[in-house]
Amino acid sequence: MSEFFHQYFDFHIMGAHFSEVLDGFLKNLLLFAVVVVLALAWGLLLALLRQLPGKKLIPIRGLTIAYIDVLRAIPLLIIILLISGGIPYLNFLPKDLRIPQWFGQPDPFWYGVLALTLVYGAYMAEVYRAGIEAVPRGQIEAARSLGMSHGQAMRHIVVPQAVTKIPAPMLNEVISLLKDATLVSVVAYGESVLVGREVLAETFNSSAVLLAGLMFLAITLPGARIVDKLIARNQGKITRGAHIEVA
Amino acid sequence: MAEAMVRLEEIHKRFGDLEVLKGVNLDVAKGEVVCILGPSGSGKSTLLRCVNLLEPPERGEIFLEGHDICKGPGSGTGEASWELDFVRQRVGMVFQQFNLFPHKTVLENVTLAPRQVLGKSRAEAESKAKALLERVGLGDKFGQYPERLSGGQQQRVAIARALAMEPHVMLFDEVTSALDPELVKEVLDTMRELAGEGMTMLVVTHEMGFAREVGDQVVFMDGGVIVEQGRPADVLDNPREERTKKFLGRVLER
Amino acid sequence: MISKTRLTASAAVLLVGIVSVVAIGCGSSSDSSSSTSAGGGGGEALTVGSDIPYPPFEQGKPGSYTGFDVELMEAIAGKIGRTAEFQDTSFETIFRDVAQGKFDAVISAATITPEREKAVAFSNPYYLSEQAVLVKEGSDLKSLEDLSGTTVGVQQGTTGQELAKEKADASEVRPYPEGPDAVNALKAGTVEAVIIDAPVAANAVEKSGGLEIAEKVPTEEEYGIALAQDETGLLDEINQGLKEVEEDGTYTKIYEKWFKLEPPKAIFSASEAAE
């Protein structure tokens, strides 16, 4: 039993490799920060495309729905492997696009960004959709009856109201993203899990891996608490009948 | 004879397998107040929503001030763009559930469409909005949010909001049905004044008193068709059709 | 329409759940049968851990593994009256795993190093090896020195990784989970060179095309079979088995089959000397 604890709680090893694992964790955070912004934007765009009304735009709606379903259906790990294994071979693209080394970040970083954005954009699009659909239909009808175009109705009436219903479920997706981003270790991006496994190979001990896990805990636990508070606050607002404040 | 403000010809509308409007014909003259009565499911709300193309009809023609706003038979499923804008700016609508924008103040609710759709400046839109709100008796509520207002007050804001677009026709879809009884009068009074000013109005309602006093024409619908229409006194006091009699009998028992 | 989709989706989830439970149940009971077909002497099973694939040492699918290590181990097992049963595992945990008794032995092109000897016991060396610098055919990189400032791919936890870190002066050393992943990255162009065991590099050149070995780096590495340190009895048996396999010509046959070369004399004396 003590051997078990020794495998995971060897503080000497944790101490010796702390800054390495921390550096790796910062790489996790960097990847996460870049993807979060891109995925939120991409997801919103997808959600809006999915909403476009009218017979003529059925192909766009159909493609968007298909994209959202497919990207949520294929395991993220497979998408990461497909992208990092396939893009270098797209010979019609210039090398700078196939094997991106932009801003000093190596190509596994950018493949990770692409894969995570494509997939999490799809999940986030569904969160936006739920928010948009939660806005009562009468709102759009009133807006359209006043002569506003679909775009104006979305912009002034629907999206501002949808936005208040989104933070709690969206934060869940965001936390999920932070954790899933570790999968990029499989294409040799030097983030904390990879570092942990390196130390494991060197020392035959898993403590560095646990250390990486603890670093995540430090961020995701408070994050989950915030989500709970947000949900409770919005619930309270609904039951008290307060108008939802929008900036 | 003056051309009708609104002319509905052979309107057919179905939702999936259910045919809701089975060939409705109606003329509304300028300044006329037409009250539409009928049991639920009769298609009266749907008919109203055809007029501003919220529910475009499958078949039939709709003429607004002489312009055909559907592009002809069989085209009703799409939205013809410039006709749509023309329609929505000429036709105002007030809903049973008010549908005020909760994240905007009363004043903003009324100024939003004139600014965004008609391109009016903020100053212009606001001064007009304030005048309208005062006219409906809400001059002290500009900065409030809808949730703070009573149902009757909200509905009056909704009327002001629709009027801000300077429509030529106003559609009222059971606008007092969701109100507490003591709040109904203030809304009906507002509508009465509007009628007195010469607005062309189509009113779907259960308020027989209003229909009798304010209406120029009463239309009774059942099962997707117009069963009987005529002057209020004729239809309400001396209905000719059996269905009309039955309906009125039930309603007036309340 | 919604309820129909929900129903189908729920049925699908249920089906997946049932299949997984059944699979796990079957998997755990037949874990020990993810083995090679002809294991050896038909006696008690010898569980052998290995990081598969790593051609030409170990490759193939469960139930039909093959390769130099695989065949050698089967031959040795036969000599000591046991049947070798292979289990695929990841390289970076392999020494810890055998030290804790997860396997009876490990054969995985594993170099004998002082660090590793702290955790496990090794048999006599069964293979002499070196590292190679693998590059794309026609590359400008012709030696270990040329790698200065380049991106070099390696497999996590290997002596190739150590060599890369110590000698290659690379701008980035990229550790991949599996050896073949590093080779694939080289082919795709995302790394400029790979440092990996020489025979594995040679195999890649032969089987893959478009690659060449820039330089071989003689590191005088010796591969050994790893066991838990307290398995002294089994260690003696394996060393004995290895010696017999070398003496009766089986070793030479297997060696020539996989490497198309005669085995170096040094390996036979390595067995002798270590006794």
Residuewise pLDDT in 10s, chain B (254 residues): 457 788 888 889 988 888 899 999 999 999 999 999 998 888 899 999 988 888 888 888 888 887 777 764 444 444 554 467 678 778 999 999 999 999 999 999 999 999 999 889 999 999 999 999 999 999 898 999 999 999 999 999 999 999 999 999 999 999 999 899 889 999 999 999 999 999 999 999 988 889 999 999 999 999 899 999 999 988 888 888 888 888 888 876 65
Instruction: Give residue C4's pLDDT.
Output: 65
Nearest CA in chain A to B170: A145
* pLDDT single digits (tens) A53-63: 877 888 999 99
CB contact under 8 A, A99 and C93: no
Nearest CA in chain B to A147: B88
Chain B partners of A245 at a C-beta cutoff of 8 Å? Answer: 103
Nearest CA in chain A to B86: A147
A194 contact C CB<8A: yes
Cα–Cα dist C115/B97, whole Å: 77
Residues 1-40 of chain A whose Cβ lies under 8 A from any Cβ of chain C: 3
Phi and psi for B34 in degrees, rounded to 5?
-110, 120
Q: In b/e form, how buried is each residue of C24-62, taking b as 16+ CB within 10 angstroms?
A: eeeeeeeeeeebbeebbbeeebbbbbbbbbbbbbbbbee
Nearest CA in chain C to A83: C188
In angstroms, the separation between the Cα of residue A75 and the nearest Cα of chain C is: 15
Cα–Cα dist C266/C249, whole Å: 15
B134 contact A CB<8A: no
CB contact under 8 A, A138 and B54: no
In angstroms, the separation between the Cα of residue B89 and the nearest Cα of chain A is: 5
In this prediction, residues C132-149 reach a mean pLDDT of: 91
CA distance to A43, A117, B17, C112, per residue, from A60 (Å): 15, 20, 27, 60
Residue among C81, C80, C127 at smallest CA distance from C108: C127
CB contact under 8 A, B100 and A142: yes
Instruction: Give residue C79's pLDDT.
Output: 92
Nearest CA in chain B to A57: B78
Residue numbers of chain A with a pLDDT score lower than 70: 234-247
Helix (H) or strand (E) holding C27: helix C2-29
CA distance to A53, B232, B242, C244, per residue, from B238 (Å): 46, 9, 11, 119
For every residue of B29-76, DSSP letters joined together read: -TT-EEEEE--TTSSHHHHHHHHTTSS--SEEEEEETTEE-S-STT-T
In angstroms, the separation between the Cα of residue C126 and the nearest Cα of chain A is: 22
In this prediction, residues C263-272 reach a mean pLDDT of: 76
Chain A partners of C157 at a C-beta cutoff of 8 Å? Answer: 197-198, 200-202
Cα–Cα dist A80/A109, whole Å: 11
Cα–Cα dist B114/B111, whole Å: 6
Token pair for residue C84? Answer: 């070798």
CB atoms within 10 A of CB B187: 25
Token pair for residue C23? Answer: 């699979």
| Residue of B81 and C153 predicted with greater confidence | C153
B230 — alpha (psi -120 to 50), left (phi > 0) or beta? left
C39 contact A CB<8A: no
Cα C217 off chain centre by? 19
Chain A partners of B54 at a C-beta cutoff of 8 Å? Answer: 141, 144-145
CB contact under 8 A, A141 and B54: yes
C113 contact A CB<8A: no
A157 contact B CB<8A: yes
Strands (E), chain C: 44-50, 59-61, 64-66, 82-88, 105-106, 121-122, 127-136, 151-155, 172-176, 193-197, 211-223, 226-227
Q: What's the start-to-end Cα distance of chain C, in Å? A: 76
Dihedral of alpha carbons B111, B112, B117, B123, sign:
positive
In the three-class reduction of DSSP (H, G, I as helix; E, B as strand; rest coil), residue C10 is classed as helix
Residue type, C167: K
With contact defined as 3+ CB pairs under 8 Å, the chains touching B are A
What is the maximal distance between C-alpha atoms in chain A? 73
In angstroms, the separation between the Cα of residue C71 and the nearest Cα of chain A is: 26
Q: In b/e form, how buried is each residue of A218-247, taking b as 16+ CB within 10 angstroms?
A: ebeeeeeeebeeeeeeeeeeeeeeebeeee
Residue among A135, A158, A53, A161 at smallest CA distance from B54: A53
CB contact under 8 A, C188 and A194: no
Q: Are strands B169-173 and B91-94 parallel, antiparallel or unpaired?
A: parallel
User: Best mutation site among A57, A141, A146, A165 for testing chain B: the one with the most B CBs within 10 Å?
Assistant: A146
Residue type, B188: L
In angstroms, the separation between the Cα of residue A111 and the nearest Cα of chain B is: 41
Instruction: Give residue C152's pLDDT.
Output: 95
Q: What is the DSSP letter of A76?
A: H
Q: Which of C100, C119, C176 lies at the smallest CB-CB distance from A188?
A: C176
Residue among B203, B201, B248 at smallest CA distance from B227: B248
Residue among C70, C69, C67 at smallest CA distance from C39: C70
- Inspect the structure and tell me whether chains B and C have 3 or more CB pairs less than 8 Å apart: no
Cα–Cα dist B228/B235, whole Å: 7
Instruction: Give residue C41's pLDDT.
Output: 55
B44 contact A CB<8A: no
Dihedral of alpha carbons B171, B177, B180, B184, sign:
positive
A72 contact C CB<8A: no
In this prediction, residues C213-225 reach a mean pLDDT of: 91
In the three-class reduction of DSSP (H, G, I as helix; E, B as strand; rest coil), residue C269 is classed as helix
Cα–Cα dist B93/B49, whole Å: 9
With contact defined as 3+ CB pairs under 8 Å, the chains touching A are B, C
B249 contact A CB<8A: no
User: Residue A78: CA atoms inside 13 Å, Cβ hemisphere, count?
Assistant: 6
In angstroms, the separation between the Cα of residue B99 and the nearest Cα of chain A is: 6
Which band of pLDDT confidence, cut at 50, 70 and 90, is reported for residue C30? very low
CB contact under 8 A, A204 and C119: yes
Instruction: Give residue B5's pLDDT.
Output: 85
In this prediction, residues C167-196 reach a mean pLDDT of: 92
For every residue of C42-70, DSSP letters joined together read: SSEEEEEEE-S-BTTTBEEETTEEESHHH
A65 contact C CB<8A: no
Q: Which of A54, A147, A157 lies at the smallest CB-CB distance from B88?
A: A147
A151 contact B CB<8A: no
Residue C104 has pLDDT above 80, yes or no: yes
Token pair for residue B168? Answer: 């030529």
User: Average pLDDT of chain C?
Assistant: 85
Cα–Cα dist B171/B191, whole Å: 11
CB contact under 8 A, B145 and A246: no
Dihedral of alpha carbons C132, C136, C138, C142, sign:
negative
A244 contact B CB<8A: yes
Phi and psi for B200 in degrees, rounded to 5?
-80, 125
User: Residue A63: CA atoms inside 13 Å, Cβ hemisphere, count?
Assistant: 7
Q: Do C111 and C221 form a contact (C-beta atoms < 8 A)?
A: yes
Chain B partners of A143 at a C-beta cutoff of 8 Å? Answer: 101, 113
C175 contact A CB<8A: yes
Instruction: Give residue A85's pLDDT.
Output: 87
C174 contact A CB<8A: yes
CB contact under 8 A, B78 and A161: no
- Inspect the structure and tell me whether chains A and C have 3 or more CB pairs less than 8 Å apart: yes
CB contact under 8 A, A88 and C190: yes
A147 contact B CB<8A: yes
Q: Which of A136, A138, A146 lies at the smallest CB-CB distance from B165?
A: A146
Strands (E), B98-199: 169-173
The strands making up C211-223's β-sheet, listed across from edge to edge, are: C172-176, C151-155, C193-197, C127-136, C211-223
Cα–Cα dist C60/C70, whole Å: 10
